[in-house]
Structure 1
Amino acid sequence: MTTTGPARIGPADDPVQPGDAAEIVVLVDDVPVAGLAGQTIAGVLMGAGRQSWRTTARQGRPRGVFCGIGVCFDCLVTVNGLRDVRACQRRAADGDEVSTHD
């Protein structure tokens, strides 16, 4: 008896190739920042060279992406007026307004 593993999906099976992603623009603290469709807000920020975008309340230490999977709360931002959004979990959309936390 032959068993087969899970079906593999390769690049040829993916209708959207990496080079096909549309450019998007999000406003970060009222400054336009370019990204690609499908990126998280954290990905857009890091792609723009930002390693941190908020500071801790007690000691003012910089915070950005730490775990990258939505567990640690270090990457929190406000998106379109919604506070405490994990930037590593939220996909960026063209025209999003992002405010960083202090």
Structure 2
Amino acid sequence: MSARMLPAGSDPIRPGPTAPVTIHVDGEPVTGAAGQTIAGIVLANGRLAWRRTSSDGRPRGLFCGIGVCFDCIVTVNGDRDVRACQRRACDGDVVSSQHDELPEVHR
């Protein structure tokens, strides 16, 4: 065995057992694993979009996945503008889609 080889059972990166997490997205319960982000759980459950653009109502979901853009914003437990890709899900979180109309322009 060379110094660089690690026995498979000793791999520190290998995921261990995880606890289940259930969150409610727009009233629907979805499950995931402890440590997953809200976006990860929602995507793993087959939902690709959970927000609509203000100007055209186009669907948006995960875009950059690292918190740079704002395509994945949701409301979590009443807190608005939470980036779903950055927020780790906690059991019992209540997640709501966000869609804000553009403000009316007065001339």
Per the alignment, residue 37 of structure 2 pairs with 40
The counterpart of 1:12, out of the listed 10, 13, 16, is 10
Q: TM-score, normalised by structure 1?
A: 0.83
Unaligned stretches of 5+ residues in structure 2: 1-7, 100-107
Letter in 1 for 2:75: T
* Percent identity for Structure 1 against Structure 2: 61
After superposition, what is the alpha-carbon deviation per residue over 1:44-79, rounded to whole angstroms, capped at 9, x for unaligned? Answer: 000110111011001111100000000100000000
SS in 2 for 1:39: coil
Cα 1:84–1:11 shift into 2, 3 Å: farther
Superposition misfits of 4+ residues, deviation over 4 angstroms: none
Q: TM-score, normalised by structure 2?
A: 0.79
Per the alignment, residue 6 of structure 1 pairs with none
Unaligned stretches of 5+ residues in structure 1: 1-9
Cα 1:11–1:56 shift into 2, 3 Å: farther
1:51 is aligned to 2:78? no
Between Structure 1 and Structure 2, whose CA radius of gyration is higher?
Answer: 2
d(CA) in 1 for partners of 2:40, 2:78:
20
Per the alignment, residue 73 of structure 1 pairs with 70
SS in 1 for 2:96: strand
d(CA) in 2 for partners of 1:25, 1:48:
12
After superposition, what is the alpha-carbon deviation per residue over 1:17-53, rounded to whole angstroms, capped at 9, x for unaligned? Answer: 5350111100111111011100000000001101110
d(CA) in 2 for partners of 1:62, 1:12:
43
Per the alignment, residue 101 of structure 1 pairs with 98
Letter in 2 for 1:54: R
Number of equivalenced pairs: 92
Per the alignment, residue 7 of structure 1 pairs with none
